[in-house]
Amino acid sequence: MLRKVALASCIGSTVEWYDFFIYATASALVFNKLFFPELSPLVGSLVALGTYAAGFLARPIGGLVFGIIGDRKGRKSALVTTLLMVGIATFVVGLLPTYETIGSAGAIILVIVRLIHGFGIGGEQGNAILITCEHAPARSRGFYGALVQLGAPAGFVLPLGLFALLTSTLSEEAFLSWGWRIPFLLSAVLVGIGMYIRLHLSESPLFKREGAQREPNPLSRMLREYPRPVILGIGAKLLEATVFTTYAVIITAYAVSRGIDRSVMTEATLIAILLELIALPLFGMLSDRIGRKPVYLLGAAVNLALVYPTFWVVYGDHQPLIWIMLVGTLAIGHAAMYAPQAAFFAELFPTRMRASGISFVQQIGALIGSVGTLGAGWFLALANGTPWILASYIALIAVITLVCVVRLPETRGKMIEQD
């Protein structure tokens, strides 16, 4: 039963993250030309990424709403609703007229759709983790939690690979005319598969055990009784969110604006994230052996060490080294934080308010980390394309995360069934 639940959660999360990240890939590659053609290439790319950031503004709201739903009505109910919401929004993007047809109205609709995306994903992440972690025994919770985390990089790889295939087989004119729509329209098939899986998913046994004792106001009570884990958890989340947004999205747009071929960045990112898919379960298992904190701290330290070298490689157009840096920052640095994060955050809160707790920590942390990075991206234009302000910002975030993780309690082996 546990393996079935973990597999179902991973597949369902992959579908939903596919819908979320397909927008990120399109933002970095084509949305500046389709919806903001009146702007310069760099500014247009940053504005397109700004619409991507709109989704992060909605994520905390979705996390709060569906965290409460997860604690009151069940993890499964929240997961079915979020998948349907994100799937419909993605399909709409595939049908959306561009600037050439309806002018700025297309960009406005794009932002609205992106807000729906963010709202749904905000409620997805915490509940998907909990329905698996609450089935898993304490001795292997890190591993099974990491399996759910595969959904995000897998959901990123699918559109990235699909866009790479389309750009290599279609002419640029055909790709900009209709080819970019294909990944969005295909989401309807994936959502159908994901919906079938989620409807047949077993509810969390710990949630069912709560019965009539479920907390009527889980969010307010969680904030009142667990302020320290909330604040430190948000700080721990900051770097993980910042790193993924930077190296999987922003750096591609920046590199293309520097004259590096788009295919170089796409292929390098694709390989790094494919390797992360292998690394995540391994780091999850490692966290079951030596603890959540040591593995998390390793990832944060790796990213602190590599932030300046990575931007130097892109700024100087040292293309052979780009692959190495992205593998280091994503497949090692990000994976070592993201893998234990699921079990780590779930173990910080009791069952009756766990969905609210993990959703709040993850989504507020993602908002600050990701939107902060996208906002810092404007300094690339203000500083004539030099990346050192952005790199310094990421280094500061890394220090904050290191301090917060050190201050959090070690949770490996915690019997959450007794909470």
Encoded amino acid at 322, one letter: I
User: What is residue 49's predicted lDDT score, i.e. its pLDDT?
Assistant: 63
d(CA 416, CA 145): 14
User: What is residue 386's predicted lDDT score, i.e. its pLDDT?
Assistant: 83
Task: Provide the 10 A C-beta neighbour count for residue 353.
Answer: 26
d(CA 383, CA 386): 6
- DSSP letter at 317 equals T
User: What is residue 66's predicted lDDT score, i.e. its pLDDT?
Assistant: 94
* Angle, alpha carbons 239-32-16 (nearest 5°): 50
Biggest CA pair distance of the chain: 62
The SS3 assignment for 285 reads helix
d(CA 371, CA 307): 18
d(CA 25, CA 365): 22
H/E segment holding residue 230? helix 227-245
Q: Taking each helix axis from N to C terminus, what angle separates 2-29 and 151-169, rounded to the nearest 10 degrees? A: 40
Q: Taking each helix axis from N to C terminus, what angle separates 41-72 and 354-366, rounded to the nearest 10 degrees? A: 170
Positive or negative, the CA dihedral 379, 381, 383, 389 is: positive
- DSSP letter at 96 equals -
DSSP string, 361-414: HHHHHHIIIIIHHHHHTHHHHHTTT--HHHHHHHHHHHHHHHHHHHHSPP-TT-
Q: Which fold has domain 2-410?
A: Growth Hormone; Chain: A; (1.20.1250)
Task: Give backbone dihedrals phi and psi of 31, rounded to 5 degrees, phi first.
Answer: -65, -30
Residue with tokens 């710990």: 206
d(CA 241, CA 115): 18
Residue with tokens 């409620």: 123
Structure tokens at 307: 């932030």
d(CA 358, CA 371): 19
d(CA 400, CA 396): 6
User: What is residue 318's predicted lDDT score, i.e. its pLDDT?
Assistant: 85
In Å, how far from its chain's centre is CA 126?
12
Mean pLDDT, consecutive 10-residue stretches, the chain (419 aa), reads 78 80 75 67 62 77 92 89 87 81 74 86 88 90 95 86 85 85 88 84 80 76 94 97 84 81 83 95 97 98 96 87 93 97 95 92 88 67 78 94 97 75
Burial class (CB in 10 A: 0-12, 13-18, 19+), 231: middle
pTM above 0.75, yes or no: yes
Task: Give backbone dihedrals phi and psi of 365, rounded to 5 degrees, phi first.
Answer: -60, -40
d(CA 267, CA 135): 37
* Angle, alpha carbons 145-272-266 (nearest 5°): 125
d(CA 86, CA 117): 5
User: What is residue 301's predicted lDDT score, i.e. its pLDDT?
Assistant: 98
d(CA 188, CA 315): 39
Domain ranges across the chain: 2-410
Task: Provide the 10 A C-beta neighbour count for residue 271.
Answer: 16
> b/e map of 398-412 (b: 16 or more CB within 10 Å)?
bebbbebbeebeebb
Question: Which residues have C-beta within 8 Å of that of residue 133, sequence separation ≥ 6?
Answer: 141, 144, 145, 148, 342, 343, 346, 416
d(CA 275, CA 133): 24
First to last CA, the chain: 23
